[in-house]
């Protein structure tokens, strides 16, 4: 890669992790207004190069920081997140801030209340600094007709991934301490991998979701993104828990930050570079193998294994087509020109499904779920690559082929994340160093439903290994 550039340097206090910044605020060495002002100055200085946060609410953020400080002066306790700046993906509502969704179909609405997960973060002391850029209506490359493309802070000619690419890029550029995203087929994990940060797709129900057109959906989830695993875990503590508007949501009785503070290897770790069925680019395989070798040298006992997921791509295409038709069918085909070709193709695919096609997809999904649960009876975590390809030119919507195998659809290149979405598994993208070209290497740590504590502990141990200089 010839156009490698350094990530945008972080000034002063923005070099701190979220956990470190919170400690400085609690000790009186920093204030919420200090970190908000630093974030604003850095966004204004750097975002022209990457376009991560196109919608900004700087004055509201300063007011929120001042109010938090006033409460503290009058004897109140600092909330969990102590006024740290947060980027919120622009398909989720923040009270008083426009929500665009990156599309003319959804732009222009100014909500009165924040979505449940965002409201939890705000109540925990996070301060929204702006709305982060995203893919238009669900693609996997962060670009849209309203705000254009978000660039990778390390390689500006390349994509940041999607659809939560704005949050990932803002984190990598040290514009914010915490980033919000959501995930259907990999939207938290793919951009985290491309930008060298961490992103967690939690088990459905752990984090309350925004109101959905289909409240019975089990694939869409909200989740945290951060630069470190302890930061990610602390953010998950703040945004998880029961909310009555999400029928899947549940209460929790654990501290995820405590789990991340106790890094250790799981006893039974399986690895697979392609899940036995997916095309994976040679440079991704090489980076993955190098990272796994490093884990083994550090004492992680590893076996080569993966569940049999044969047939899952067809299940994914059917369920995606059905979901997109249900969500957008009321606008189709009358507003066909408002949709990207990829999303339009998903809707058309859903239209052409027969009742038998849908029944077969549901039945096979159930079979694969039971097969996957059987696999995890004998394995604590599975580690695989987070992506099948490395970042590609920002102008390209999706790669035409993977290691010489043609991509038939724009979701073929994210199958390695999508499979876990369909099966309800939590999956965590954790940075694992760099390859010889300077590209971030990312490991996807996967477990059975409700295994977030274990994933965070293992991911923290991986992070420890790749940041220790050993």
pLDDT tens string 354-368: 999 999 999 999 999
CB atoms within 10 A of CB 394: 22
CATH code at position 139:
3.90.1300.10
- Residue 359 located in a structural domain: no
Read off the pLDDT of residues 156-172 as tens digits, 9 standing for 90 and up. 999 999 999 999 999 99
Question: What's the number of domains the chain is made of?
Answer: 1
**C-alpha dihedral, 121 to 123 to 126 to 127, nearest 10°:** 120
Cα–Cα distances (Å) from 142 to 19, 71, 139, 159, in that order, read 28, 38, 7, 7
Q: How much is the mean pLDDT over the chain?
A: 96
Structural domain that includes position 404: 12-307+376-467
- Residue 28 located in a structural domain: yes
- Note whether 117 and 92 are within 8 A (CB): yes
- Note whether 51 and 149 are within 8 A (CB): yes
Read off the pLDDT of residues 148-205 as tens digits, 9 standing for 90 and up. 999 999 999 999 999 999 999 999 999 999 999 999 999 999 999 999 999 999 999 9
Read off the pLDDT of residues 210-251 as tens digits, 9 standing for 90 and up. 999 999 999 999 999 999 999 999 999 999 999 999 999 999
pLDDT value at residue 139: 82
What are the structure tokens assigned to 326, written together? 């249900």
Q: What is the pLDDT along the chain (470 residues), one digit of tens a residue?
A: 445 455 676 679 999 999 999 999 999 999 999 999 999 999 999 999 999 999 999 999 999 999 999 999 999 999 999 999 999 999 999 999 999 999 999 999 999 999 999 999 999 999 999 999 999 988 889 999 999 999 999 999 999 999 999 999 999 999 999 999 999 999 999 999 999 999 999 999 999 999 999 999 999 999 999 999 999 999 999 999 999 999 999 998 899 999 999 999 999 999 999 999 999 999 999 999 999 999 999 999 999 999 999 999 999 999 999 999 999 999 999 999 999 999 999 999 999 999 999 999 999 999 999 999 999 999 999 999 999 999 999 999 999 999 999 999 999 999 999 999 999 999 999 999 999 999 999 999 999 999 999 999 999 999 999 997 54
- Residue 33 located in a structural domain: yes
pLDDT value at residue 470: 43
- Residue 303 located in a structural domain: yes
- Residue 283 located in a structural domain: yes
DSSP secondary structure letters along 24-44: HHHTTS--HHHHHHHHHHHHH
Q: Give the integer Cα–Cα distance in Å for 458 and 300.
A: 10
- Residue 166 located in a structural domain: yes
- Residue 314 located in a structural domain: no
- Note whether 37 and 84 are within 8 A (CB): no
- Residue 431 located in a structural domain: yes
């Amino acid at each position: 890669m010839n156009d490698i550039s350094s990530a945008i340097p972080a000034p002063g206090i923005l070099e701190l992790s979220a956990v470190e910044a919170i400690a400085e605020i609690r000790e009186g060495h920093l204030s919420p207004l200090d970190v908000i002002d630093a974030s604003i100055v850095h966004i204004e200085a750097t975002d022209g190069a990457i376009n991560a946060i196109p919608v900004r609410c700087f004055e509201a953020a300063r007011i929120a920081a001042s109010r938090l400080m006033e409460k503290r002066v009058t004897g109140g306790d600092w909330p969990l997140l102590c006024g740290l700046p947060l980027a919120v993906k622009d398909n989720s509502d923040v009270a008083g801030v426009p929500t665009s969704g990156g599309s003319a179909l959804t732009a222009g609405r100014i909500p009165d209340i924040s979505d449940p997960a965002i409201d939890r973060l705000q109540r925990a002391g996070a301060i929204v600094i702006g709305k982060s850029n995203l893919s238009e209506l669900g693609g996997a490359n962060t670009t849209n007709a309203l705000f254009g493309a978000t660039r990778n802070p390390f390689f500006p000619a390349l994509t940041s991934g999607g659809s939560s690419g704005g949050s990932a890029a803002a984190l990598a550029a040290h514009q914010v301490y915490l980033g919000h995203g959501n995930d259907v087929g990999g939207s938290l994990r793919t951009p985290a991998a491309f930008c060298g940060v961490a992103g967690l797709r939690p088990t459905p129900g752990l984090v309350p979701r925004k109101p959905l057109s289909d409240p019975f959906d089990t694939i869409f989830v909200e989740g945290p993104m951060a630069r470190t695993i302890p930061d990610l875990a602390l953010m998950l503590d703040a945004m998880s828990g029961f909310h009555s508007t999400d029928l899947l949501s549940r209460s929790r009785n654990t501290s995820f930050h405590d789990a991340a503070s106790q890094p250790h290897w799981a006893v039974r770790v399986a690895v697979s570079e392609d899940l036995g069925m997916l095309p994976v680019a040679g440079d991704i395989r090489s980076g993955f193998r190098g990272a796994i070798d490093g884990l083994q040298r550090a004492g992680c006992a590893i076996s080569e294994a993966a569940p049999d997921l044969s047939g899952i791509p067809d299940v994914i295409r059917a369920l995606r087509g059905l979901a997109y038709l249900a969500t957008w069918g009321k606008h189709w085909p009358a507003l066909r020109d408002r949709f990207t070709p990829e999303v339009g193709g998903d809707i058309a695919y859903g239209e052409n499904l027969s009742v038998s096609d849908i029944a077969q997809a549901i039945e096979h999904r159930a079979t694969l779920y039971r097969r996957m649960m059987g696999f995890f009876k004998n394995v604590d975590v599975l580690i695989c690559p987070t992506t099948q390809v490395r970042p590609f030119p920002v102008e390209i919507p999706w790669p035409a082929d993977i290691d010489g195998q043609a991509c038939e659809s724009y979701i073929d290149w994210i199958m390695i994340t999508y499979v876990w979405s369909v099966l309800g598994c939590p999956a965590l993208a954790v940075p694992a160093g760099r390859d010889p070209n300077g590209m971030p290497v990312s490991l996807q740590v996967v477990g059975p439903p409700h295994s977030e504590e274990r994933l965070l502990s293992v991911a923290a141990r991986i992070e420890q290994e790749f940041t220790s200089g050993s």
